Each structure stands twice: as structure tokens, then as C-alpha cells.
């Protein structure tokens, strides 16, 4: 190569796409007049073209799976977090159930005291509620943590929570009789009551 | 794209391993390609690419999230390739010959069929020649040439990947270009 090293330098600048317009003019002018440099320049361009033209390799199809299988194991906690993130509905539902059950069970445990709905002709003796013979009790009777003996008549529903009820042969209940003794019954009772309350709200709204 | 990668990296840092799969999927071809052109065969390319991703995963916390992830990943992969080239024994060239034989086998098969695939064939042969010539380059020129012309990265990125001044990267590209030109000018 007889030409100035400067020209080769300019070729590289051109090929690096970093040549300024002034130098590009110098290079172009020179290439027009110098066959050797033109050949050299074309060889560079051709070389780059064939290198760029090599086919693009694809990683093997199972590559990602192999990498993932080779990674150190992640912590359990994260797997749980991801599961929750991917199943938000189930997560919300189970959280709701856990909280509801918790609060209901604690209500169940707190309600150990004897109580009875207030109706004037109910008789209370040693934790036993008696509907006396010949008396008519109007409205629903609810007894908590105690027994209920029905010798008279109840015009309404009877609910005994955590206790028992005895219906004497002469006794009469116009509504439903229900005994709630276990935690699950208690929860069921609550759910039914909540549902009925909700329905009542809607009924009230319509009226 | 960069935003997606950043998001996935944050998830990986929090410990969500599955988020890394997408990162691997996105870069697997370019990292595999780098390994193939640097080391010369598929087996080592897969090996080195896999190791690069595992290292990236293990060291993800040391990745500066203000930088481009691909630059960091390429740096890991390039360093692994260069290390392996330096450790290689001279029998390495035999390895390159083997991949060349594959091309020849294909050549003889195709040639016996019809004249049409011969164009394909010539290009296969050319592919093979170029591949071998890249592999003959000294490692310091090979890495810049592969990053520049196979991975099509900018000079600035290459300088970051190799942790070299821009001027050095340019000089190496010029020399690599010159070496390749001398070998490939008549193909």
C-alpha cells in the first residue's frame, strides 16, 4: 500500500460510522482517483458483509428449561407469594373464610353465659327456661347455654344454642324448633341468620 | 423491552425464580450465538451460555439496575468465553475441524440431488469459511469482531462489556477487520 496511512484510517472511521462529513469527502475523492485504495475499501466492505451474513444461531429448544433446572432452589416463601399473586380470587376467598371462622369461633367461646329472649311469661329456674303449661308465649324464643322445657305454647320459632329443649306432650310450637350445639352448627346458624337479615333488608327496601 | 427486563429483575431479586425464565428466553439466542462464534462449536456454546445465565442469576443482586442488563449479561458471557479460550489446549483447532466436516457431508449430499441447492451449498461453504476465520482470530480481536458484527452492538457498548477504553476497542476492531480481510477477500 503506497497511499497515506491517513486514508486507511479514514476507511476505518467510515466503517465505524464515525467519519465526519469533511473527511468523508476526502475519502471519496481519494477512492475515485486511487484504484488500490478503492479495492482495499471494497474488500473491507465485502469482509464485513460476509461476517454479518453468517447465519444466526438458535439456542437449543430446551435451553431455557435446562437453565431453570440448574438454578439454585428458591425459598419456599416466594413460591407461596407467587401462588397468591397468580390466584388472587382463591387467596381472597380463603382469607375471608379464615377471618370469618376465627371471629365466629371466638363469638362462640365468648357466649358461654346463660341468656334467654325476653318474654314476660317465661319462667327461669336454675338455668332451665320453662314455658309454663297453659301459657302462650308470643314471638321467637332463643335460649343460650341453657335448657328449654316447653309445656305451654310458643307462637314462633324456638332456638336453643348450646343446650337442649324438651317438648312436653301438651306443649306446642307453631314455628321451627332448632338446637345449635356444635361450632359448625353455630357457624351455619350465623350464616343463615346473616342471610335472612340481608333478605330482610331487601324486603324492607321494597316495602 | 428494557422496562420489562427491569421488572423481571426486580422480581428475581425478591426471590421469584420463575421471572428469570423470561430473561433467559429473551437473551438465550444472542448469548448462545456469542458462545458459538467465540468457541466454535454448539456443545461449548450451550455450556457457556448456560453458565452465563446461572452466574447472572446468582449474582443478580450485584447488578446495578441503572445500567443496561444486556451489557452486564454480555460481560459475564464474554469473560467466560475468554477464560475458556485461554484455558484451551491446542487440540481446540481439531474441534473446529469437526464442525467443518459436517458442512462437507452436507455438501456431498446436496450436490448429488439437483443443481438448484448448490447456491445454498456455496453459501454453506462460505458460512463455514467465515466461521473458521473468525475462530482463527486472536481472542482479543475475536471478541470485538463478534460483538460488533455478529451481535451488532455499538462501540460504546462493546467498550463497556469488555471494560476497555473506546480507543482500544476501535484499534482492535480495525486490526480484526484487517486480519479477516486478508483471509476473506477472495471468497
Residue B103 domain-assigned (yes or no): no
Domain that holds residue B15: 1-89
One domain, residues B152 and B77: no
First to last CA, chain B: 38
Residue B68 domain-assigned (yes or no): yes
Residue B159 domain-assigned (yes or no): yes
Whether residue A67 lies within 8 A of chain B, CB to CB, comes out as: yes
Judged against a pLDDT cut of 90, whether residue B181 lies above it is answered with: yes
d(CA A145, CA A129): 11
d(CA A43, CA A38): 9
Facing B185 at nearest CB: one of A47, A59, A77: A47
One domain, residues B79 and B39: yes
Cβ within 8 Å of A, B 116-175: 126-127, 130-131, 134, 145, 149-150, 152, 155, 170, 173-174
Whether residue B37 lies within 8 A of chain A, CB to CB, comes out as: yes
Judged against a pLDDT cut of 90, whether residue B92 lies above it is answered with: no
Q: How far is B67 from chain A (nearest CA, A)?
A: 24
Boundary (domain end) residue, out of B74, B89, B104: B89
Q: Which residues pair with B174 in a beta bridge?
A: none
pLDDT band at B116 (very low <50, low <70, confident <90, very high): very low
One domain, residues B85 and B2: yes
pLDDT band at B96 (very low <50, low <70, confident <90, very high): very low
Q: Report chain A (207 residues): mean pLDDT per 10 consecutive residues.
A: 80 94 94 92 93 89 94 71 77 82 72 74 81 82 82 84 77 79 73 78 62
Percent of chain B with pLDDT over 90: 68
- Three-class secondary structure of residue A155 per DSSP: strand
One domain, residues B9 and B84: yes
Average pLDDT over residues B141-163: 96
CATH code of B41's domain: 1.10.1740.10
One domain, residues B46 and B4: yes
Residue B3 domain-assigned (yes or no): yes
One domain, residues B69 and B146: no
One domain, residues B47 and B122: no
The grid cell for A195 is 342471610
Whether residue B69 lies within 8 A of chain A, CB to CB, comes out as: no
Residues A54 and B127 sit within 8 Å (Cβ to Cβ): yes
Subunit contact B24:A64, Cβ cutoff 8 A: yes
Q: Which residues contact B28 (CB under 8 A, 6 or more apart)?
A: A59, A63, A64, A67, B49, B53
One domain, residues B27 and B75: yes
Which residue on chain A is closest to B131 by alpha carbon?
A54
Residue B77 domain-assigned (yes or no): yes
Judged against a pLDDT cut of 60, whether residue B98 lies above it is answered with: no
One domain, residues B124 and B47: no
The per-residue pLDDT for range B57-66, each reduced to its tens digit, is: 999 999 988 8
Judged against a pLDDT cut of 60, whether residue B4 lies above it is answered with: yes
Average pLDDT over residues B140-148: 96
> Which of B149, B155, B183, B187 has the highest number of chain A CBs within 10 A, making it the mutation to test binding with A?
B149
Alpha-carbon dihedral angle through residues B72, B77, B78, B79, given to the nearest 10 degrees: 90
Residue B164 domain-assigned (yes or no): yes
Cβ within 8 Å of B, A 73-112: 74-75, 77-78, 81-82
One domain, residues B76 and B150: no
Facing A57 at nearest CB: one of B17, B36, B149: B36
Judged against a pLDDT cut of 90, whether residue B175 lies above it is answered with: yes
pTM, entire model: 0.61
Residue B99 domain-assigned (yes or no): no
CATH code of B159's domain: 1.10.10.10
Judged against a pLDDT cut of 60, whether residue B118 lies above it is answered with: no
One domain, residues B76 and B153: no
Subunit contact A78:B181, Cβ cutoff 8 A: no
Subunit contact A63:B24, Cβ cutoff 8 A: yes
Q: How many domains would you assign to chain B?
A: 2
Residue B101 domain-assigned (yes or no): no
One domain, residues B83 and B131: no
The predicted structure's pLDDT at residue B108:
37
Residues in chain B with CB shorter than 8 Å from the CB of A12 are 170, 173-174, 177
Task: Name which residue leads in pLDDT, B165 or A161.
Answer: B165
Residues in chain B with CB shorter than 8 Å from the CB of A57 are 29, 32-33, 36-37, 42, 45
Amino acid at each position: 500500500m503506497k497511499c497515506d496511512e491517513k486514508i486507511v484510517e479514514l476507511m476505518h472511521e467510515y466503517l465505524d460510522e464515525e467519519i465526519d462529513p469533511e473527511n468523508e469527502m476526502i475519502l471519496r475523492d481519494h477512492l475515485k482517483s486511487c484504484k488500490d485504495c478503492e479495492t482495499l475499501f471494497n474488500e473491507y466492505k465485502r469482509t464485513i458483509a460476509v461476517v454479518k451474513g453468517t447465519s444466526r444461531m438458535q439456542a437449543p429448544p430446551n435451553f431455557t428449561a435446562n437453565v431453570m433446572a440448574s438454578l439454585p432452589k428458591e425459598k419456599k416463601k416466594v413460591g407461596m407469594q407467587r401462588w397468591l399473586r397468580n390466584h388472587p380470587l382463591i387467596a381472597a376467598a380463603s382469607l375471608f373464610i379464615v377471618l370469618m371462622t376465627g371471629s365466629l369461633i371466638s363469638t362462640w367461646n365468648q357466649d358461654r353465659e346463660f341468656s334467654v329472649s325476653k318474654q314476660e311469661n317465661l319462667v327461669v329456674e336454675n338455668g332451665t327456661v320453662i314455658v309454663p303449661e297453659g301459657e302462650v308465649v308470643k314471638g321467637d324464643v332463643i335460649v343460650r347455654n341453657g335448657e328449654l322445657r316447653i309445656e305451654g305454647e310458643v307462637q314462633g320459632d324456638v332456638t336453643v344454642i348450646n343446650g337442649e329443649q324438651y317438648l312436653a306432650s301438651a306443649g306446642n310450637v307453631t314455628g321451627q324448633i332448632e338446637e345449635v350445639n356444635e361450632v359448625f352448627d353455630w357457624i351455619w346458624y350465623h350464616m343463615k341468620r346473616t342471610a335472612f337479615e340481608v333478605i330482610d333488608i331487601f324486603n324492607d327496601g321494597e316495602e | 423491552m428494557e422496562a420489562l427486563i427491569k421488572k423481571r429483575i426486580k422480581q428475581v431479586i425478591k426471590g421469584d425464580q420463575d421471572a428469570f425464565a423470561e430473561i433467559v428466553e429473551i437473551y438465550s439466542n444472542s448469548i448462545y450465538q456469542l458462545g458459538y462464534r467465540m468457541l466454535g462449536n454448539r456443545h461449548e456454546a450451550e455450556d457457556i451460555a448456560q453458565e452465563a445465565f446461572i452466574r447472572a442469576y446468582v449474582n443478580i443482586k450485584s447488578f446495578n439496575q441503572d445500567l443496561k442488563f444486556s451489557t452486564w449479561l454480555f460481560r459475564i458471557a464474554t469473560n467466560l468465553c475468554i477464560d475458556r479460550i485461554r484455558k484451551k489446549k491446542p487440540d481446540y483447532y481439531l474441534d473446529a475441524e469437526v464442525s467443518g466436516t459436517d458442512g462437507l457431508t452436507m455438501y456431498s449430499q446436496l450436490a448429488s440431488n439437483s443443481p438448484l441447492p448448490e447456491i445454498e451449498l456455496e453459501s454453506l461453504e462460505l458460512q463455514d469459511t467465515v466461521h473458521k476465520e473468525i475462530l482463527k482470530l486472536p481472542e482479543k480481536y475475536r471478541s470485538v469482531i463478534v460483538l460488533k458484527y455478529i451481535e451488532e452492538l455499538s462501540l460504546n457498548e462493546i467498550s463497556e462489556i469488555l471494560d476497555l477504553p473506546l480507543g482500544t476497542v476501535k484499534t482492535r476492531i480495525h486490526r480484526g477487520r484487517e486480519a479477516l480481510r486478508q483471509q476473506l477477500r477472495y471468497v
